Amino acid sequence: MPATAVPTLDTLFALGNQLLAAQDYAAAAQCYQQALALDPICPEVLANLAYAKEQQQDFSAASQYYHQALQHADPQAHPGQQQIYINAGALLTRCKAFAAAENIYCALLQQVPGSAAGWSNLGVLLAGLRRETEAEDAYRTALSLMPDYRTASFNLSYLLLRQERWQEGWQRLEARTSQDALTKVLPFARWQGEPLHGKRMLIVFECGFGDMLQFCRYASLLKQLGAAQTGLLCHPPLKRLLQTLPDADVVYGYDETLPDGLWDIWVPIFSLPHHCGTRRATIPMQVPYLFAAPEAAARWHTRLSRQQWRIGIAWQGNPQFETDQDRSLPELSCLHSLLQQSGVQWVSLQKGPAAQQAREWQATPLFCADQELHDFADTAALISQLDLVISIDSAVLHLAGALGKPAFLLLPYYRQDWRWLASGQESPWYPTVRIFRQRQDGDWAGVIREVQQALQEFLHHREPQTCAAGHAAS
């Protein structure tokens, strides 16, 4: 009987990579650890083990393995090992060990000054730290080395838009990869900004719910520019709500089959500001442009307090979102002092895991409606009956803004989204939104204190809403 073959380093590494690609991180880590028994200083094995540990949220072990990998890596002799530096720097950035991350990127660039990826990733770190001049220099260095480097161009676009450098910002945003798959599946021409001349235009979703809520407003502008019809292809939970958009002739969920021959051209939604030449003064900012169904609004009107102010809150976003650990409050208790405001009926607008926090909250009364909010039309009906929404940077905030509802937006210090710009309390996209920004990383308590003061002023100068506020699309 033949002896069992002893697995080689290459065999174990290849198997680990297959398991890593299949997102079986525990099994992949086991393969890499067996491989290290054969060669304990192989940089690629150490780095992939670090990545597997990172995906298992074991950041301490991941950092240790990256450190070992870097000790034995030679990115000059082996260009593929540049990725070890980039992944290690990204982990340290994620853990907010910013100085250590910067040291790693600089170490890579000292050895390989022509690493476009190294410069781009350094730019991301510097932009997050608000060292924006240095970040721009890093991005532009990456692009000088590799002019077609889409990631660097995309990263630069966010920095430029945050600074209101609209023309180049929108142009650079065209480098994003989120639109690539759409080009392969839509069987008609993509709009590149040419005159519309009575063409039938389909606006197609990209990225998250909030992006669609923000940019669907361009349907009206496309009609003004000559489109004969405008349609929307969107996430299914948005379909009923987007049917209230006045200039949307038809709305499809992306789970539906598009009819043949109905549309002449299509456009990914993030390309609309570029092709429409949007600047601050030309942002289509008339609100509301989305509406709650009157019948649904009336049902909430009868269930909510008529003697108190009604204020909705959303404190956490989708945990799968890249920057969620920064934009979301750690827990509902961060709002405890705010929720003690008298004369207010507080309404949780959370869905998902955070809704459980609301149901278990006992410190102050909190109205929970998550089990009745099946799509965004349901949430819009509830928000229409509120006097104010207080939210982190999430789809709830975009929905409140699109409905023309007064809203307070709570923003982190680190990695603020470009659309809220670099400073100020006003939003050029939503005239009813007031922005409250952290002054230092993680200081939600300071933000809440400012919100409490603003809330006192808000309650003093306004009367509670007393009638149902739903409207049908015109």
**Distance in angstroms between the alpha carbons of the first and the last residue of the chain:** 81
Give residue 319's pLDDT.
84
Give residue 474's pLDDT.
40
* CATH number of the domain that residue 156 is part of: 1.25.40.10
* 195 lies in the same domain as 218: yes
* 186 lies in the same domain as 126: no
Give residue 159's pLDDT.
98
Domain that holds residue 159: 9-173
Residues of the chain whose pLDDT is less than 70? 1-4, 466-474
Give residue 462's pLDDT.
77
Task: Encode pLDDT of 434-470 as tens digits.
Answer: 999 999 999 999 999 999 999 999 998 877 776 555 5
Task: Encode pLDDT of 156-204 as tens digits.
Answer: 999 999 999 999 999 999 999 888 888 888 989 999 999 999 999 999 9
Give residue 3's pLDDT.
56
Give residue 468's pLDDT.
57
- Domains in the chain, number: 3
The tokens for 289 are 């442009």
The tokens for 151 are 């990631």
Judge whether 466 lies within some domain. no
Give residue 2's pLDDT.
52
Give the 3-state secondary structure of residue 468: coil
Task: Encode pLDDT of 350-374 as tens digits.
Answer: 998 899 999 999 988 999 999 999 9
Amino acid at 36: L
Q: CB of 124 within 8 A of CB of 109?
A: no
Q: What is the DSSP string of 244-307?
A: T-TT-SEEEETTSPPPTTS-SEEEEGGGHHHHTT--GGG----S--S---HHHHHHHHHHS-SS
Q: CB of 116 within 8 A of CB of 149?
A: yes
Of the residues 127, 157, 173, the one at which a domain ends: 173
Q: CB of 227 within 8 A of CB of 247?
A: no
Q: Name beta bridge partners: 189.
A: 265
* CATH number of the domain that residue 328 is part of: 3.40.50.2000
* 134 lies in the same domain as 193: no
* 312 lies in the same domain as 435: yes
Handedness of CA 141, 145, 151, 153 (dihedral sign): positive
